[in-house]
Structure formats: C-alpha cells, structure tokens
Amino acid sequence: MAELVRYNAPGIVVIVILLLFSITRADLPGTWELIVQDAGIASMHTAVTRFNTVVLLDRTNIGPSRKALGKHRCRKDPNDAVLKRDCFAHSVLFDLGTNQIRPLMILTDTWCSSGQFLSDGSLLQTGGDRDGFKKIRKFEPCDPNETCDWVELQDTELITGRWYASNQILPDGSVIIVGGRGTNTVEYYPPRENGAVPFQFLADVEDKQMDNLYPYVHLLPDDGGNLFIFANSRAVKYDHRTNAVVKEYPPLIGGPRNYPSGGSSAMLAIQGDFATAEILICGGAQSGAFTARAVDAPAHGTCGRIVATAPDPAWVTEEMPFGRIMGDMVNLPTGEILIINGAQAGTQGFEMGSDPCLYPLLYRPDQPIGLRFMTLNPGTVPRMYHSTANLLPDGRILLAGSNPHYFYKFNAEFPTELRIEAFSPEYLSQDRANLRPELREIPQIVRYGEVFDVFVTVPLPVVETIQINWGSAPFATHSFSQGQRLVKLTVGPSIPDGEGRYRIQCTAPLNGAVSPPGYYMAFAVNQGVPSVARWIRIVI
C-alpha cells in the first residue's frame, strides 16, 4: 500500500511517498463494527441523549421508509406529493443498551433543518422545508422503557422560515438560530422582543450557489460569550447581546467551505484559563462545483486554524492527507479531533459526490504542523451526503445515514444507507485496557465555579494527572455538529483514597460562555485513554 504524507514548512510543502507494501488495513489504528443492519431510516440529523439513546431524523416528504409507525399511527398531509397518508417513520430512537429501534413520529418536514439541546436536556428542532419551514419541535428524552416522542409547538413558531440554518445554545440557555436559505437574519428561542434581526454579513458572503448555508457557529469563551460565525470563506465575531459584528477576521484561502461546498468545522478543546478558543475548518469543494454539477471535481485538502480570541488573529493553513468534502468532525474525549465520512470529489447535493473517502483521520492539535494528521483504519461503507457522526458515552463514534438520492434508492452505486456502525479509536484497543479509568463517583449536578470531587479506579497505578473532560452532545447534520464543544476542567492531582480508588478535585467552569448550561458527557482520561462517560448537568 502507498500512503501519501505531506509535511508542511513555511512556504514549502514537501511531499514524501512512503511505500508501505507490508501494511494492511488491520495495521492502521481503529476498529469498525456493524451495530444495526437496518435502522429503517437514513439519518440526516443525529443527536445523543442523556438517557444513552440516539435520535435519528430524516425528512417527511421522502416517501416510504423501511420502518412502520405502528398500528393506527399515520401522518395525513394532502399536500405531500408522495404519500397523502404516511404510516412510515421518518425518525427513530436507537437504544445503545439493547440496539433496539423505536419509531418516532414527526408531523412536518424536517429536511435540512437545525437543532440544539436546551439546558433541561430536551432537543430543540427548528425549521425545514415546506410545511416545516417555520416549525419548532421538541423531543424530551426519556428512559428507553418509556414512550417519549416528538412534539410540535403550537404556541410559537419561527419568526422567519429557516432552511439550512445553524443553532447554538448561549450562556443564558437561550438558543440563537442563524441564517438559512434566503434568510439573512438571526432569531432566538425563546423569542426575543426584537424578533428576527438582520445579519448583513450573511448577505455579503452569499454567492451564486449560496455558500452561506449552514454557517459554522461557535460560542467563544470570552466576556459575554461572543460568537465566531463563518460562512463561505469569511468570519466575524458577533455580539448576540447587541446583535452587532464586533470583529472581522481575515478570509480563509482555498475557496468556499460551507454548504453546498461541504467543508467542516470544530472548535478545539477549551482548557487552561479558558480564555483561548481555536477554530479548525477543513476541506471543501472547488468553487462553483455545485452550480456546474462537477461531480468529479477534486475536493480540497486544506485546513485553516485560527485563534479566534487573539487580538490580531490570523489563519494558519495545513494539508490533510486526502481532499475531503462532506466530512464530519468529532471532538474526542482526549482533545483530539476525528475527521470521518465524506467524499474526495464533487460537492454536497443529490447525486453530486463521488470517490468516497473511507479513511478517517485523527487530528492531533498539539503536534507540530506536518505531523498533526494520522490516517486511520478505513471503513467499507461509503457515507457521503446526509451522513452523520456522533461521539458516544463509551468513547466510540456512531456513524449513520448517507442518502445521495432524492428518495430512498438501494440499487445504486452509492445506495441509501440504513446501517448503523461504530468506529472505535485506538484508545479503545485491548492493549490499552489496563490504562482505562472507571468513573466511580461524580456529582449529577454542579454549579458554575463549584469545586467537587470525582473518584476513579484504574487497573494500573496512576503515573500522571488524570484529566476530567466533558463534552456536549451536539446536533450533527450536513458535516457540522451544532453546539459541539469539549472542556478540559481544572483538576488537582490524583490522590489515592483507599480500595484502589483515586480522588480528583475538579473545578467547574465559572460561566456559561465556557460551558453553556445543560448536560455533558464527563470522561476521566488517563494517558490518552478515556473512561465510559457519566452524564453531568451544569446549572446557573
């Protein structure tokens, strides 16, 4: 096998070809497993709940799925061009403990909608197409033995219809909803008195193929929690309290990065004094590939990284081993980032991608430029347009969806994908099992600035500080996980506490700009190996 590795130096890109004839797929880090053969739907949107269940969501006007709603449960829509009486599920709940699938019922179209968990753990879901354009929905998670389901709010709706928008929870627990197709405004949930507010930046970066959709929105840990908002190739810092742009960032070279050009973005782990936030944006399609329907146009392999909180921020660029569009970025418990799914050519859109990118990448932010990317064990299932990736509490990554067709189509080069898989990073390998900590005790609820104790056990003696890192549960869709963040808590030394346990003193973040109120997966991380997470809630 030949592996292409690029080493970057200032002004120089040295390409080294390593001929690794003896290396097989099994020699690359990471393992794959098939969890569910047929989920019944292709998940366009995916979110993990605090009950260790997973919400999978497609769209309603897609015709029959492979999962029936159940007896006497049908959606009636005289305006649906495919099914006036629809008795099929377009959302399901996946139980991680039993691998069972339960159908859920949505009433209006959630095609290319947006979402975010609220501080009480309920999933807010906004917009979509057609009859879902202005709808607000909620899913209040429950124990897997109970029968919670989607609820469409009757007392409120979006002020402006939104299709391809992005959501982000704010320090006070409210949610900002940014943009959408032909919608260059922001609004909030719960609604604010000033309604939908014009956002000229989105209009300024709009081009012929509308590369300002699904903008990348990251909550910064600065005073007041300003927002880093990126669309097309530009970014601004936005003050949601005054609805004003307070900083313009330099453009990122390499062409458009947002939908339909299909790059991806994540914020690196927040740590230390929590004053610094770095944003990573990788991949994307050739400029104009969407309007030209250039299915075979090679994807970009460039990444940009910027310290968004710096006084004079500048992009630092680097190269991935592969060009990639429609990739998903997942914040791992260790602070590294997994880049997975996607294609090496084409663009987002139905029938618009080719050459699946089966190799995941591990991005190691603390390594020097040129050594940050590690190529991992490839999968075998192409996951391209409308696929998702989500971190699970046990440290695996859940892969779902991929439907590059307008309807479900199984007899195709890249068929509609109903299988659910899991990818296990190298930190879950058997040779590291003796390093894997177990969380024995951790509070269920903490307040901002609270000092609390966590108790862990580890098979081998502890030789360095055990980290306590908590990660949000984002709403993953269209190559961007809305609301995703990882926070490395301030911790003390691991002190032996008898019976093989260690006590670790932790301090919760001081404010909601670092960790918005809500539920997080808390991991103990020992020498790069995470525990199974316990859910913890931070409240105001």
Q: Is the dihedral of CA 297, 298, 301, 302 positive or negative?
A: negative
93 - beta bridge partners? 55, 102
Strand pairing of 534-539 and 445-447? Answer: parallel
Under DSSP, is residue 351 helix (H, G, I), strand (E, B) or coil? coil
Residue 531 maps to a domain: yes
- Distance CA(529)–CA(525), nearest Å, equals 5
In a domain, 290, yes or no: no
Q: DSSP E strands: which ranges in 49-130?
A: 53-57, 75-76, 85-86, 91-95, 100-104, 114-117, 123-126
Q: Can the peptide bond before residue 260 be classed as cis, meaning omega within 30 degrees of 0? A: yes
CB atoms within 10 A of CB 540: 12
3-state secondary structure of 27: helix
pLDDT at 10: 40
In a domain, 314, yes or no: no
Question: What values do phi and psi take at 203, rounded to 5?
Answer: -70, -40
CATH number at residue 487: 2.60.40.10
Residue 528 placed within a domain: yes
264: left (phi over 0), alpha (psi -120 to 50) or beta: beta
Residues spanned by the domain of 487:
437-538
User: CA geometry: angle at 504 spanning 498 and 508, to 5°?
Assistant: 150
Report how many helices (DSSP H) and strands (DSSP E) the chain contains, helices first.
Answer: 2, 47
Residue type, 89: A
Yes or no: say if 376 and 363 are a contact pair by the CB < 8 Å rule: no
Q: Would you give per-residue pLDDT tens digits along the chain (540 residues)?
A: 333 333 344 443 333 333 333 345 668 999 999 999 999 999 999 999 999 999 999 999 899 999 999 888 999 888 888 899 999 999 999 999 999 999 999 999 999 999 999 999 999 999 999 999 999 999 999 999 999 999 999 999 999 999 999 999 999 999 999 999 999 999 999 999 999 999 999 999 999 999 999 999 999 999 889 999 999 999 999 999 999 999 999 999 999 999 999 999 999 999 999 999 999 999 999 999 999 999 999 999 999 999 999 999 999 999 999 999 999 999 999 999 999 999 999 999 999 999 999 999 999 999 999 999 999 999 999 999 999 999 999 999 999 999 999 999 999 999 999 999 999 999 999 999 999 999 999 999 999 999 999 999 999 999 999 999 999 999 999 999 999 999 999 999 999 998 889 999 999 999 999 999 999 999 999 999 999 999 999 998
Q: Where are the beta strands (DSSP E) in 357-497?
A: 361-363, 373-375, 387-391, 397-401, 420-424, 438-441, 445-447, 451-457, 467-471, 475-477, 480-482, 486-488, 490-491, 495-496
CA 92 to chain centroid? 19
34, part of any domain: no
What is the pLDDT, as a whole number, of residue 9?
42
Distance linking the first and last C-alpha atoms of the chain: 54
Q: Is 433 helix (H, G, I), strand (E, B) or coil?
A: helix
Using DSSP, state whether 199 is helix, strand or coil: coil
Residues 399 and 389: beta-carbon distance below 8 Å = yes
Query: In Å, how far from its chain's centre is CA 65?
Result: 25
Residue type, 231: A
Query: Does 6 fall in a domain?
Result: no
**pLDDT given for residue 70 in this prediction:** 86
For the beta carbon of residue 35, count every other beta carbon within 10 angstroms: 16
* DSSP-assigned letter for residue 435: G
Neighbouring residues of 15: CB distance < 8 A, sequence distance ≥ 6? 4, 5, 6, 7
Q: 186: alpha, beta or left, given left = phi > 0 and alpha = psi -120 to 50?
A: beta
Q: Which two tokens stand for residue 264?
A: 């991806």
Whether 482 is in a domain gets the answer yes
| CB of 41 closer than 8 Å to CB of 55 | no
Q: How many domains, in total, are found in the chain? A: 1
User: Which residues have a Cβ under 8 Å from the Cβ of 371 and sit 6 or more positions away?
Assistant: 7, 364
User: How far is it, in rounded angstroms, from Cα 485 to Cα 509?
Assistant: 13
Nearest to 84 by CA among 94, 75, 73, 93: 75
pTM: 0.94
120 residue type, one letter:
D
Q: Which is it for strands 343-346 and 353-356: parallel, antiparallel or unpaired?
A: antiparallel
- The answer to whether position 9 is within a domain reads no
Other residues' Cβ atoms within 10 Å of the Cβ of residue 210: 20
